[in-house]
């Protein structure tokens, strides 16, 4: 369910910081890359270790562990949101926070696992920022907001 919230920016920040504390968090140690291949090669090229796979009109693109130095490498973390949490605006909120603090953009791939609360996100960011971003995420997840 998508929530529609009427709130001030400060209320949104408070709500989403509380959601961040409640998420199930997993950081992946190894870097990942995007592996692209033609639509017609799906059966032969899909990998079991892919975290996500999407397509456009021409190619499949799967997010897989980097086995060598080819391609742009990303570090990944995953967030599972608690069932019933109002996480509307979360992607924009956290992406803006990271952009403001570290100057980087991110990518987000979403999925759903009803047995674990519903929506989950994979977040990718430049591998060279791994330590800084993981420390910032730990800080955000450890904050307790009382207002």
Percent of the residues in the chain that have a pLDDT greater than 90, as a whole number: 81
- Out of 17-21, 25-29, 83-87, 108-112, pick the least confident: 83-87
Residue 141: which pLDDT band, with cuts at 50, 70 and 90?
very high
Mean pLDDT of all residues in 46-74: 94
Q: Is the pLDDT of residue 145 over 60?
A: no
**Sheet-wide strand order for 24-38:** 52-55, 59-65, 24-38, 74-80, 118-126, 107-113
Residues 80/116, Cβ–Cβ less than 8 Å: yes
Residue 2: which pLDDT band, with cuts at 50, 70 and 90?
low
Higher confidence at residue 118 or residue 5? 118
Q: Is the pLDDT of residue 135 over 70?
A: yes
């Amino acid at each position: 369910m998508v929530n529609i919230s009427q709130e001030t920016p400060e209320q949104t920040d408070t709500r989403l910081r509380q959601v961040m504390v409640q998420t199930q968090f997993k950081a992946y140690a190894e870097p990942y890359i995007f592996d692209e291949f033609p639509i017609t090669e799906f059966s032969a090229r899909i990998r079991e270790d892919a975290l996500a796979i999407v397509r456009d009109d021409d190619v499949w693109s799967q997010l897989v562990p980097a086995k060598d130095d080819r391609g742009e490498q990303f570090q990944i973390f995953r967030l599972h949101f608690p069932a019933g949490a109002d996480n509307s605006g979360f992607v924009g909120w956290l992406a803006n926070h990271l952009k403001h603090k570290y100057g980087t953009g991110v990518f987000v791939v979403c999925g759903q696992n009803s047995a674990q609360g519903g929506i989950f996100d994979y977040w990718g960011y430049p591998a060279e920022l791994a330590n800084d971003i993981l420390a910032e995420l730990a800080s955000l997840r450890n904050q307790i907001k009382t207002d």
